Each structure stands twice: as C-alpha cells, then as structure tokens.
Amino acid sequence: MSKNVHHVISYLDSAHVKIILTRNGTSIYMDYNATTPLDSEVIQAITEALQEAWGNPSSTYVAGSKAKAIINESRENVARMVGGKAEDIIFTSGGTEANNMVFHTAVEHFRRNCKAAEQGTGHGNGCSGLPHIITSNVEHDSVKLAAEHLQREGKADVTFVPVSKVTARVEVEDIVAALRPNTCLISIMLANNETGVIMPVQEICNRVRSLNKQRQQVRVLLHTDAAQALGKIRVDIHELGVDYLTIVGHKFYAPRIGALYVNSPGMKTPLYPMLFGGGQERNFRPGTENTPMIAGLGKAVFKDKLHFNSHYPGSDILPNTCNVSILGPTLQGWRVLSNCKRLLASVGAACHSDSGNRPSHILLNCGVPSEVAANALRLSVGRGTTKADVDAVVVDLRDTVKLLEEMN
C-alpha cells in the first residue's frame, strides 16, 4: 500500500506521530481531533460535583459554597495550564462561544473607540470605514463563519489570508501586509484540526505588537484558537503574546465545555458580553455556572495530570495528527472508512460531517488537488496506544483497499 499512499502534507513525517490511543471493543479509535473520551479521574470529579456540589455557586449554604470552591479551583488550574492568572479565565459553553465572543468584542471595541473619538474623548485614526478583521482561509468554522457573518451583515471587512501551498502555514509577512489603519483583530488558529500544521502565532504576535506601539490607529487585538494544540504541544500565553486564547475541553479528555483566556479582561484587554443575566463570570458571561463540567475541565488540565504527548521545539506538525490520501478512483475517504472493519476515524473536521462527500476546503486551500483531497483520511490519536494498535489499523486499511480495488 505504501506505493499509493499520498501524504497530503508532503513533509509530514510519520515518526512525529506518537501513536497512543484507546480501544473501543474490537474497533480502534483514531479520531481524537474530533473528540476525546473522558478521563476516568475526570468522570470521578464530575460525579462528585453532581452529588456534593449541586448548590447554586452564588448561594452561601454548604452545597453552594462547595460549588463555588470547585469553580475557583478549576479556574486556577485552567489558568496554570496556559501560564495565565485565574482572573484571566472566563468559562464558556465551548470553543464556538469563546471564538464568537472574541469577534463580537473586537467589532464592539472598534465601534466604541470611534464613537469616543467623534465625541472628542479619543483619537479617530483608523475609524474611517468598517472594522477590519484578518484571519486565515483554513480556520475552524466557528471562526470562519463568524467572520463571514459579520462581513455579510455589513458589520466588518474581513481578509482571509491564504496559507502557503507549500507549507500549509499562514505566512507572517502576508498577515502584516494585510494590515490596514482600521484593522481591529487578527485571529489565527494555533494548530490546524485537519492537517496538524502549527501556525506561527508567536511570530505574528511579535510583529503586530511591535507595530501596535507605532500605530496611531485603533489597537490590533490578537486571538488564537488553541483547541487542537492544548494537551499536544506546550502552550504558554506569555510566549505567544496573544490577547485571547480559546480553550476546548473535549479535545483533551475533559467534558464538552470551554474557556476563554483574556489578558486582564476589561482592563488591559476589552471583553464585551454577548449574553446578559445574573452577573456570573463578572458579567462577561452570565448564567448559572455548570459546576460539574467546570469541575471536569479543572481536573483534566491539572498540571501534574496533564499529559503532553511530546514537545518538539520549532516543530511544524502536531505529534498526534496524520492526514493521508490513498490514491485510486474508488478510494474516497468516506468509502474506505465505511468498509474498514476496525478503524474509527474521519475524513476531516467533525463539524463538516453533514457536508456530503465534498473534499475538505481546508485541504483545497492548502493546495491539495481536489481528487487527492477527496480521498483524505484524518488519523488523530490520543493516550494509551500500543504499536499493535497501529499495526492493526495498517492491516485494516490494506485489506480494505484491496477489497475496494477488487470490487472495482
């Protein structure tokens, strides 16, 4: 099979892929970039919170006080994971909400700055025209569609910077070249969910922060969606230099809940709510806290328990992600997977599962030919895998390819 396997990203070295996955009966799960199973200690933390911390965290009786204590501890743990402070963490329902909150904030902050300038209480440089947002053309839909919505509604101009067809990375110089006087936000994911390519977020932030000091215009806010990076590579907000960082629990053995890191929210960095209610999360994200899920998130990210599969300084690929295509007219990714006896994987992002059999726009934007992208398989692994599991998947794929080629 090695002769007709085409690596979607040519320099993707399989030696960089640490194979560690769990078994599901006779099946072998290789779709960890879509979601991860809950860690046993996380399940225990959730169960204890359900039983013992069922009270409203805003209440003063024992069950409520215990809930508040769990939330505070989890906030500390999440902050520690990314190198921030507890007060920098805002709990959300997930990554989609966190990303949307950043886009909402950027546009609202631009509007308020310009209004203040009109009233003579601020500067008006960069206030002509709509707020301008820069992102890449390989972002998750929760960024891509949020940006497109703002553009369609006439609330913002958006530049989707294309990634290199050679490296599948967005180039720093292309981001800098896209800057305008009215640019208010740059949002670039830390690692791509389909290709595993790590983006030069730190380099982008260094350049833009330097330019921000020279600009007389509205400050450019910096955001990265770190959903796929956390738990796989080292993530430190001080090294990255971002204003906002999105955290998604179910990508690293936590429950389906999220958080948004904000560098001193409401002080150094603006943050405007999309919801209004009882004042929880310091009014940035009101709504009675989901204590059990927050407890699970806090347990999963606890520093001594968090398992980084590997850390390659300067590496370009996530250590758990392999995106390959098996070439052949009948070997489309969906067809191969539907005939595999053991492998449980995907052809791309889980949120695109209802898009039929169309090739991934992420791969197409990376320069992969349509007929190759149509055959793509995304194999992403997690904890606890043996070499035997990987060998079994290779055999399963080889037998499936042979079967489909014979049927053809």
What's residue 22's pLDDT? 39
What is the average pLDDT across 143-167?
Answer: 97
Q: How high is the pLDDT of residue 131?
A: 97
Residue 353 scores a pLDDT above 70 = no
* pLDDT tens digits, one per residue of 361-397: 999 998 888 988 999 999 888 887 777 888 899 899 9
Residue 106 Cα to chain centre, angstroms: 19
The string of pLDDT tens digits covering residues 7-28 is 443 323 332 333 333 344 588 8
Res 14: pLDDT:
30
Q: Which residues contact 360 (CB under 8 A, 6 or more apart)?
A: 194, 347, 348, 349, 352, 373, 376
Instruction: Supply the pLDDT for residue 229.
Output: 96
Give the separation between CA 8 and CA 30, rounded to whole angstroms. 17
Beta partners for residue 161, in sequence order: 136
The pLDDT score that the predictor gives to residue 165 is 92
Average pLDDT over residues 43-55: 96
The pair of structure tokens assigned to 301 is 């990210």
> What was the pLDDT predicted at 310?
34
Who wins on pLDDT, 348 or 204? Answer: 204
Decide if 228 contacts 190 (C-beta within 8 A).
Answer: yes
SS3 23: strand
Q: What is the pLDDT of residue 380?
A: 87
Q: Which of 205, 340, 351, 366 is catalytic?
A: 351
Domains, the chain, in order of start with CATH, read: 2-33+320-407 (3.90.1150.10), 49-300 (3.40.640.10)
Output the average pLDDT for the chain. 87
Question: Residue 54 above 80 pLDDT?
Answer: yes
* Most trustworthy range by pLDDT among 264-273, 298-307, 338-347: 264-273
pLDDT tens string 270-310:
999 999 999 999 999 999 999 999 999 999 987 444 434 33
How much of the chain exceeds pLDDT 90, in percent?
68
Compute the distance between CA of residue 350 and CA of residue 359 in angstroms, rounded to an integer. Answer: 13
Burial of 178 (0-12, 13-18, 19+ CB in 10 A): middle
* 17 or 80, which is more confident: 80
Number of H helices, E strands in the chain: 12, 13
- The residue that leads in pLDDT, 285 or 122, is 285
> What is the pLDDT, as a whole number, of residue 210?
92
- pLDDT value of position 355: 57
Q: Which token pair is 109?
A: 């902050």
Between CA 131 and CA 155 the distance in angstroms is: 7
Sheet holding 376-380, edge to edge: 5-7, 321-326, 376-380
Residue 351 appears among annotated catalytic residues: yes
